[in-house]
Structures are given as C-alpha cells and as structure tokens.
C-alpha cells in the first residue's frame, strides 16, 4: 500500500520524526515548514539550543521514557557518525541547596540529584568528592554526556530525510489541516504529523492553551571549556537564571542561561549577557587566559530562543482534525533534542496504528 504521510515541520522534533517515518519504504513523507535549518527566527526554537543531553524529566513520566529511549541513538551517533556533529563530553553538575524552590532549582531538581533515575543509563555516573567542589556548592555529580552542534546536526537530519526520499516544502500554514493538501504526490495526505512547537498555541485546528514560552538567552564564544560541560542549579543574581557551559563539536562554546517563563522578548538583554559571561568565567576560569575576566572571551554571537513549554508535558497524541488523522508531537520545553528519538518513536507507533486501522476499513 502506498501511504502518503505528511510531516509538518523542520525543527528537531519534526525532522527526527520525518527521519524515522521516511525509513518506511511504503510511506511518502513531505516536510512542510515555515522555517528550515539555516533560518534564524524567534519562532523557531531548534537553532538556539546548546544542545546536550541532561535529563530533566521527573521519574515515571512519559518524558522520562522519551529521554531513556533517546540516549542510545545519540550515543550511537556520537560514537559512529561523525558527520552528525555530536560528540561525548564529560558533564559536571553542581547543586546549591538554596536553589530549591526557585524556577531553575525546580527545573534541575532531578538532574542534580545524587541518586538520579538516569545514573545507570549514561556512562561513568559518579558523585563528586566534597573536597573538589567550588565555594557555595553543596553537592556535585558527573557523567559522560553528548553535546550536539545544532548548526551541523539539523542539516544532517534534513539530509538523511532527503536521502530516504522525503521532500521539503517551505511554506506557512494557517490551519493544521491545510498541510494535507501540500503532499508532494499531489494526493491528499492521509496523516499529518504536527511538530510546530510553540506555534501550536495559535495554529488553527490546534490552539493549545497549555503552551507557553520559557525564554533562554545564550552567548556563543570561541573559547574552549577544556572538554567539560558545566551546569549549576541557580545563581545569586536572579531565581530564573542558571549557569551552564557546553562545548560544541567543530567549534563554539555555548554559555547560558536563563529560564524566563512567559517572556516573549526576542532581543538579547545586554546586562543578562554580561552576568552570563561573568558566571561562566567564575566557574570555569580556564575559559580565558590567566588573570583575565570576560574581556578574555571572544564572542561569536548572542542568542535568544523560546523553549516551547507545555503545562502537562509533551503532547504525543493522535486526533482527527478536518477529517484527517493528526499525530501531535510538540511542547518539548527545554528538552527537545534529548527526547527527540523517544518522541519520534512514539509517533511512529501511532502512525503504524492508524495505517493498520485504515487497512482494515
């Protein structure tokens, strides 16, 4: 049976889903998106991510399963597929007891736990010796994670979809069901995959009021962090600010950050950028030359992205809109990369179910 399947976006969620679906020889996938890799827009979250794998999910939630199911593929890509732009990095996580109850402290509560659910999932998990912790840090852990250069990874994902026969169509949808008429076969698509991120707040046929932005601001520098990624649960400057550093494969170190819920501001805040750089140099003095402060950082650019947060968590669910099956995959907050293969696999199963049901009709 020939089944036109349509995938409605080109962020990490849409491209990963398109990749898995395009591996099915009997599916024909069209990626319909307002933004594609290479575009830069506040409405398009994926290019602004670090991105790394730091499990934020709470135990026994769907997000935990998505993260669990994503790690093996990211590990495989880091080990065997250099052109994907993913490499292993030692990760150091610092917890400050006083961050408990703050937005960033809550966000990272399970991540910085000394007994996290993922301790047997990732390699080399260990609790750091108290004597090695910087001043003000109450506990620390470390493990081997991955860091993705999203500037390499998103185009790589796209190229894999195209290699599998998927087609790319750049356009803007007013209503999710309009996607059905845009399949490259000229036939109406049987299934729409909705991976439109934060835009699902306003997109016709979806308009999910549970979505909201959590603004993140980063500074990308040419300096090296010496092979480690660092994360601290909070700062003394603002309860919505945190400190993280990750070094991308192929160059560029990402300095962050913040989690500003409900903030839609697209422009970088210069004062926040200065605080971000100061905190990163304080925790990782090796970023700059001896005796240097932030003047020792070589800035590539400043970035602002809106994490597509959703009350109730990621929506991976099947529905019918305008008579067409729509499988939703949006609301990935600050964990779209690290849940990408888990969510895409769940979508793939929902599509398979829908196809089987159609075949029985």
Ligand X SMILES: Cc1cc2nc3c(=O)[nH]c(=O)nc-3n(C[C@H](O)[C@H](O)[C@H](O)COP(=O)(O)OP(=O)(O)OC[C@H]3O[C@@H](n4cnc5c(N)ncnc54)[C@H](O)[C@@H]3O)c2cc1C
- Closest listed residue to residue 211, CA positions, set 196, 198, 225: 198
Q: Does 253 bind ligand X (CB under 6 A)?
A: no
Shortest distance, position 89 Cβ to ligand X, whole Å = 11
196 among annotated binding-site residues: yes
Ramachandran assignment for 289, one of left (phi > 0), alpha (psi -120 to 50 degrees), beta (any other): beta
From 81-89, 114-122, 332-340, 347-355, give the range in contact with ligand X by CB under 6 A.
332-340
Shortest distance, position 178 Cβ to ligand X, whole Å = 8
Rounded CA-CA distance 20/84 in Å is 16
334 among annotated binding-site residues: yes
Q: Does 337 bind ligand X (CB under 6 A)?
A: yes
Shortest distance, position 274 Cβ to ligand X, whole Å = 17
Binding mask 226-245 for ligand X (x = CB under 6 A): --------------------
Q: Residue from 77, 168, 189, 203 that binds ligand X (CB under 6 A)?
A: 203
Q: Does 52 bind ligand X (CB under 6 A)?
A: yes
Shortest distance, position 356 Cβ to ligand X, whole Å = 27
Token look-up 């698509």 returns 189
Q: Residue from 336, 345, 346, 354 that binds ligand X (CB under 6 A)?
A: 336
- Closest listed residue to residue 219, CA positions, set 299, 334, 104: 299
Rounded CA-CA distance 339/258 in Å is 20
Is the Cβ–Cβ distance between 19 and 54 less than 8 Å? no
Query: How many residues touch ligand X (CB under 6 A)?
Result: 38
Q: Does 37 bind ligand X (CB under 6 A)?
A: no
Shortest distance, position 358 Cβ to ligand X, whole Å = 25
Give, as one character, the DSSP assignment of residue 58: P
Is the Cβ–Cβ distance between 232 and 137 less than 8 Å? yes
Question: Which residue lies nearer to ligand X by CB, 9 or 141?
Answer: 9
76 among annotated binding-site residues: no
Q: Which residues contact 83 (CB under 8 A, 6 or more apart)?
A: 152, 156
Q: Residue from 108, 193, 218, 225 that binds ligand X (CB under 6 A)?
A: 218
Q: Residue from 124, 159, 172, 311 that binds ligand X (CB under 6 A)?
A: 172
Q: Residue from 184, 307, 310, 315 that binds ligand X (CB under 6 A)?
A: 307
Q: Does 342 bind ligand X (CB under 6 A)?
A: no
- Closest listed residue to residue 117, CA positions, set 45, 61, 175: 61
307 among annotated binding-site residues: yes
Q: Which residues contact 161 (CB under 8 A, 6 or more apart)?
A: 15, 18, 19, 22, 29, 31, 168
CB atoms within 10 A of CB 195: 30
Is the Cβ–Cβ distance between 189 and 6 less than 8 Å? yes
Q: Which residues are annotated as a binding site for D-dopa?
A: 244, 307, 334
Residues at the site binding ligand X, with contacts judged by CB under 6 A: 9-14, 33-35, 44-46, 48-52, 172-173, 195-197, 199, 203, 216, 218, 257, 305, 307-308, 330, 332-338
């Amino acid at each position: 049976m020939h089944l036109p399947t349509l995938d409605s976006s080109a962020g990490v969620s849409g491209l990963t889903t398109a990749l898995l679906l395009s591996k099915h020889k009997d599916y024909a996938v069209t990626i319909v998106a307002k933004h594609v890799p290479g575009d830069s827009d506040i409405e398009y979250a994926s290019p602004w991510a670090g991105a790394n794998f730091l499990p934020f999910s709470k135990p026994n939630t769907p997000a935990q399963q998505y993260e669990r199911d994503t790690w093996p593929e990211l590990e495989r890509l880091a080990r065997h597929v250099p052109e994907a732009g993913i490499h292993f990095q030692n990760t150091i996580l610092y917890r400050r007891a006083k961050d408990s109850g703050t937005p960033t402290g809550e966000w990272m509560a399970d991540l910085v736990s000394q007994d996290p659910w993922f301790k047997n999932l990732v390699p080399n998990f260990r609790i750091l010796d108290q004597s090695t912790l910087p001043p003000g840090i109450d506990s620390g852990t470390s493990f081997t994670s991955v860091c993705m250069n999203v500037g390499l990874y998103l185009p790589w994902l796209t190229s894999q979809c195209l290699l599998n026969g998927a087609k790319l169509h750049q356009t803007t949808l007013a209503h999710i069901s309009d996607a059905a008429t845009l399949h490259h076969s000229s036939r109406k698509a049987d299934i729409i995959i909705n991976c439109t991120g934060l835009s699902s707040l306003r997109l016709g046929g979806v308009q999910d009021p549970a979505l909201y932005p959590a603004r993140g601001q980063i500074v990308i520098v040419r300096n090296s962090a010496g092979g480690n990624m660092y994360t601290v649960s909070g700062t003394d400057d603002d309860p919505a600010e945190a400190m993280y550093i990750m070094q991308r494969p192929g160059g560029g170190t990402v300095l962050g950050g913040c989690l500003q819920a409900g903030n839609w501001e697209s422009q970088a805040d210069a004062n926040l950028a200065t605080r971000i750089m100061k905190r990163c140099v304080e925790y990782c003095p090796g970023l700059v030359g001896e005796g240097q402060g932030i003047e020792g950082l070589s800035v590539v650019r400043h970035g602002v992205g809106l994490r597509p947060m959703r009350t109730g968590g990621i929506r991976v669910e099947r529905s019918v809109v305008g008579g067409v099956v729509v499988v939703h995959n949006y609301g990935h907050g600050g964990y779209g990369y690290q849940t990408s293969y888990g969510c895409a696999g769940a979508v793939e199963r929902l599509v398979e179910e829908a196809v089987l049901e159609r075949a029985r009709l």
